[in-house]
């Protein structure tokens, strides 16, 4: 395979605040994509930097009595530490306040001047006479000029949603000093981006550079009209780079931030003996930017315009994602869902959220909801229950020995896994990680069924079955390894542990295509723990208590990174009504000859109406607790979590078929509105659905992976 050369960036985090779980959606998404490309044998580098300039940093430094360099230096260290804690592996992590960036900005600036795109205009703005600085809209608050709601930001009103100019506010005041702002006029430099309108029409609408909804949005919102000149300078005082040919004027933070991608490349090239032009001028190189939807137009209009004018490669693709919500709502400091990366790491394993985000991320701009109950369920059911368990239940039986010299007959399981490989790879490539994870978990289900059926723990007890035991474990471990390779972009540590266990480091996707035979099996080392909901609660509690040193500026920034949009929709009953009405279903038939199940329990001949059916409220539930009932032969007592705060105690006649410890945390289907029944041991508040006639033939129903407690079953 002739490898592709790919340069990847994630948006530069601002040096005024710590990394939180909302930011991590993007850095983890990008890290997975980069790791995937490298695993496929391509040459892919991941570059990032701190975004350091602007008024907010300047004011913060003043308030803290420190230099800007000190403020941003400290924050950069914190960012680097947080990212490393989540296995986010940048090839270079720079700063926009670097010599490389100053030089690169000057080069692009000269190109804009040479193309005659820069001109000067006067701008009238509010000015804080105490701090001696012009005020961006978000640094001014006052009374809405339309509805007179108090304490509104300078550009819009929360109450009546009116948009206005900060000079229209009644009783405006600076959020920096509290002073009443003055109106002042200053010269600013502008880029006439309209001159590149034709190019931007073509670049945004043709080719595959943008997701289609983004291309349409740009066409409808910006490109349909004349493009407004872009204000790229700020007068002194301003923390940034002074413009070489305009003393007293500084490049606006949004001018130098994307150029920081190039500056980071310069640093990486210098450290690795690489040629910068290979990465930014050779058309063979692909450039992929990952960003959130809030900064779309900087990256899809201004940035390509700058690159085009200065003669650099244009982005191959800008990948745009939605925002994070937690339990369907905006992240909130008071509710404890505004979780800092460092707080997460104090309580939870980074692999868990890498997997959870991967299981939720698709190629579109939809917001991603972190449902905390679902988080626990997915980690415990998928990662621990389905993946890691494959190794932990089998490796111990052949630890210190070798897997079978020839890969045994597995009924085509491994081959089916290899066939899924290209589908999984295509999903990763398209940033459709959700589909990739579903494919992997379907393979995990098949592998687990194999282990259940083969029951190595039973073979272990029979010395005559020693060879069969080795075969079964060899198959299970190879199926496990295949999954670990497919999951390696998401779970790099699991891949490393798997390489150690089977003495064969995982470095390439193609390793998934052939099983290992006769490989020494190491001692099984613990790979991953289950998540205890108490740990999640402790993290939330800690986030409530934590009041990090944040000024009002950071609070504003934080609000910008989350969304007001609600979480996912649940399927509507209407979709079922169309074919669920019973009209075309032969509901009543005589028992099928030879069908034992029908003989034991004949099909019901009496029809039930759709309304009858809808009376029964069946829900997905998680078994929160399971225990024996003293004095009961058949009953287990289950406490079911039906989502939210809803818990129900149910007595189920499944003792002897299921062990309590095997039930905890698994998902079941529960009739939630069954009238409570008083029993000798207590009141049963529902019923767990199971198939089979009873006795030893009881099979609990389980929803497919992805279902979460509380969802209605239709």
Rounded distance between C-alpha atoms, residue 472 and residue 308, angstroms = 59
Which of 84, 147, 595, 646 touches Zn ion by CB under 5 A?
147
x-marked contacts with Zn ion along 23-42 as a string, rule CB under 5 A: --------------------
Q: Which is nearer to Zn ion, 162 or 707 (CB)?
A: 162
Rounded distance between C-alpha atoms, residue 162 and residue 485, angstroms = 53
Least Å distance, CB 166 to Zn ion, is: 14
Which of 57, 144, 310, 690 touches Zn ion by CB under 5 A?
144
Least Å distance, CB 192 to Zn ion, is: 34
Q: Does 616 bind Zn ion (CB under 5 A)?
A: no
Rounded distance between C-alpha atoms, residue 131 and residue 60, angstroms = 12
Q: Which is nearer to Zn ion, 149 or 466 (CB)?
A: 149
Which of 15, 44, 71, 157 touches Zn ion by CB under 5 A?
157
State the residue for tokens 């000024």.
551
**525 cis-preceded (ω within 30 degrees of 0):** no
Q: Which is nearer to Zn ion, 167 or 332 (CB)?
A: 167
Q: Which stretch binds Zn ion (CB under 5 A): 61-69, 158-166, 428-436, 470-478?
A: 158-166
The DSSP letter of residue 154 is S
Q: Which stretch binds Zn ion (CB under 5 A): 143-151, 205-213, 575-583, 704-712?
A: 143-151
- DSSP bridge partners of 325: 330, 369
Measured over the CA atoms of residue 683, residue 688, residue 692 and residue 695, the dihedral's sign is negative
Q: Which is nearer to Zn ion, 75 or 169 (CB)?
A: 169
Which of 84, 89, 130, 160 touches Zn ion by CB under 5 A?
160
CA proximity to 512, closest of 411, 416, 394, 405: 416
Helices (H), 299-394: 303-310, 341-347, 350-360, 372-378, 389-392
Least Å distance, CB 137 to Zn ion, is: 15
The DSSP letter of residue 658 is B
Rounded distance between C-alpha atoms, residue 88 and residue 492, angstroms = 10
User: Contact 231/246 with Cβ under 8 angstroms?
Assistant: no
Tokens representing 519 are 């490989």
Least Å distance, CB 150 to Zn ion, is: 10
Q: Does 170 bind Zn ion (CB under 5 A)?
A: no
Which of 4, 5, 62, 146 touches Zn ion by CB under 5 A?
146
Q: Which is nearer to Zn ion, 62 or 159 (CB)?
A: 159
Which are the contacts of 543, defined by CB distance < 8 A and separation ≥ 6?
A: 333, 336, 337, 338, 339, 340, 343
**Phi, psi (deg, nearest 5) at residue 558:** -60, -40
Q: Which is nearer to Zn ion, 166 or 315 (CB)?
A: 166
Q: Does 159 bind Zn ion (CB under 5 A)?
A: yes
Least Å distance, CB 141 to Zn ion, is: 13
Please report, as residue ranges, which positions from 315 to 374 form the binding site for Zn ion (by CB under 5 A): none
By three-state DSSP, how is residue 678 classified? Answer: strand
- DSSP bridge partners of 700: 690
Q: Which is nearer to Zn ion, 157 or 351 (CB)?
A: 157
User: Contact 354/401 with Cβ under 8 angstroms?
Assistant: no
Q: Which stretch binds Zn ion (CB under 5 A): 41-49, 152-160, 205-213, 477-485?
A: 152-160
Q: Which stretch binds Zn ion (CB under 5 A): 125-133, 153-161, 367-375, 504-512?
A: 153-161
Which of 89, 130, 149, 458 touches Zn ion by CB under 5 A?
149
Least Å distance, CB 148 to Zn ion, is: 7
Least Å distance, CB 172 to Zn ion, is: 14
Q: Which is nearer to Zn ion, 142 or 492 (CB)?
A: 142
User: Contact 402/520 with Cβ under 8 angstroms?
Assistant: yes
Least Å distance, CB 555 to Zn ion, is: 21
Which are the contacts of 41, defined by CB distance < 8 A and separation ≥ 6?
A: 1, 3, 508, 509, 510
Rounded distance between C-alpha atoms, residue 407 and residue 515, angstroms = 7
Residues lying near Zn ion in the complex (CB under 5 A) are found at: 144, 146-147, 149, 157, 159-160, 162
């Amino acid at each position: 395979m002739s490898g592709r050369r790919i340069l990847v960036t994630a948006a530069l985090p601002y040096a005024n605040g710590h990394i939180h779980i909302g930011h991590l959606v993007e850095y983890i998404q990008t890290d997975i994509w980069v790791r995937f490309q490298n695993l496929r044998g391509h040459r892919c580098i991941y570059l990032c930097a701190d975004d350091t300039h602007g008024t907010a940093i300047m004011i913060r430094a003043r308030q803290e009595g420190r230099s800007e360099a000190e403020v941003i230096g400290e924050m950069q260290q914190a960012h680097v530490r947080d990212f490393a804690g989540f296995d986010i592996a940048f090839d270079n992590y720079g700063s926009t306040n670097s010599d490389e960036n100053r030089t690169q900005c000057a080069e692009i600036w000269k190109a804009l001047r040479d193309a005659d795109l820069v001109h000067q205009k006067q701008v009238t703005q509010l000015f804080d006479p105490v701090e001696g600085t012009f005020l961006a809209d978000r640094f001014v608050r006052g009374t809405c000029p339309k509805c007179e709601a108090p304490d509104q930001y300078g550009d819009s009103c929360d109450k009546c949603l009116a948009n206005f100019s900060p000079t229209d506010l009644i009783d405006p005041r600076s959020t920096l000093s509290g002073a009443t702002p003055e109106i002042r006029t200053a010269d600013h430099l502008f880029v006439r981006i309209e001159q590149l309108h034709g190019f931007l029409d073509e670049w945004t609408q043709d080719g595959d550079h943008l997701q289609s909804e983004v291309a349409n949005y740009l066409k409808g919102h910006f490109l349909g009209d004349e493009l407004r000149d872009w204000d790229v300078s700020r007068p002194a005082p301003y923390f940034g780079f002074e413009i070489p040919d305009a003393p007293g004027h500084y490049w606006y933070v949004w001018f130098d931030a994307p150029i920081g991608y190039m500056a980071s490349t310069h640093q990486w090239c210098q450290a690795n003996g690489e040629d910068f032009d290979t990465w930014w001028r050779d058309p063979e190189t692909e450039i992929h930017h990952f960003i959130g939807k809030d900064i779309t137009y900087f990256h899809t209009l201004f940035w390509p315009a700058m690159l085009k004018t200065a003669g650099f490669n244009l982005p191959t693709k800008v990948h745009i994602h939605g925002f994070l919500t937690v339990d369907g709502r905006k992240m909130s400091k008071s509710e404890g869902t505004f979780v800092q990366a460092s707080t997460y790491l104090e309580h939870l394993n980074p692999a868990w959220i890498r997997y959870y985000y991967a299981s939720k991320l698709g190629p579109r701009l939809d917001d991603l909801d972190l449902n905390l109950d679902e988080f626990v369920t997915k980690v415990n059911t998928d990662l621990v229950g389905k993946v890691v368990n494959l190794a932990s239940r089998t490796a111990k039986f052949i630890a210190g020995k070798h897997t079978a010299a020839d890969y045994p007959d597995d009924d085509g399981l491994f081959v089916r896994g290899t066939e899924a490989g290209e589908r999984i790879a295509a999903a990763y490539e398209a940033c459709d990680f959700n589909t990739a994870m579903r494919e992997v978990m379907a393979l995990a289900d098949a592998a687990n069924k194999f282990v259940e059926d083969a029951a190595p723990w039973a073979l272990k007890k029979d010395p005559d079955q020693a060879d069969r035991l080795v075969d079964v474990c060899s198959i299970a471990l190879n199926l496990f390894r295949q999954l670990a390779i497919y999951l390696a972009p998401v779970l790099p540590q699991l891949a490393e542990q798997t390489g150690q266990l089977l003495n064969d480091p995982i470095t390439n996707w193609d390793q998934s295509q052939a099983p290992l035979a006769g490989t020494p099996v190491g001692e099984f080392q613990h790979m991953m723990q289950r998540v205890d909901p108490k740990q999640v609660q402790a993290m939330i509690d800690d986030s409530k208590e934590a009041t990090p040193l944040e000024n009002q500026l950071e609070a504003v920034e934080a609000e910008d990174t989350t969304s007001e949009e609600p979480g996912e929709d649940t399927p509507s009953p209407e979709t079922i009504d169309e074919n669920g009405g019973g009209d075309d279903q032969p509901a009543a038939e005589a028992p099928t000859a030879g069908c034992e199940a029908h003989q034991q329990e004949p099909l019901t001949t009496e029809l039930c109406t759709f309304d009858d059916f809808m009376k029964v409220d069946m829900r997905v539930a998680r078994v929160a607790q399971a225990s024996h009932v003293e004095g009961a032969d058949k009953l287990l007592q289950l406490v079911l979590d039906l989502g939210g705060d809803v818990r129900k105690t149910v007595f189920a006649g499944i003792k002897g078929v299921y062990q309590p410890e095997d039930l905890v945390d698994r998902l079941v289907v529960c009739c939630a509105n069954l009238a409570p029944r008083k029993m000798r041991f207590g009141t049963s508040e529902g019923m767990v659905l199971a198939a089979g006639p009873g006795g030893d033939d009881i099979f609990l129903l389980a929803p497919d992976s992805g279902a979460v407690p509380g969802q209605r079953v239709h």
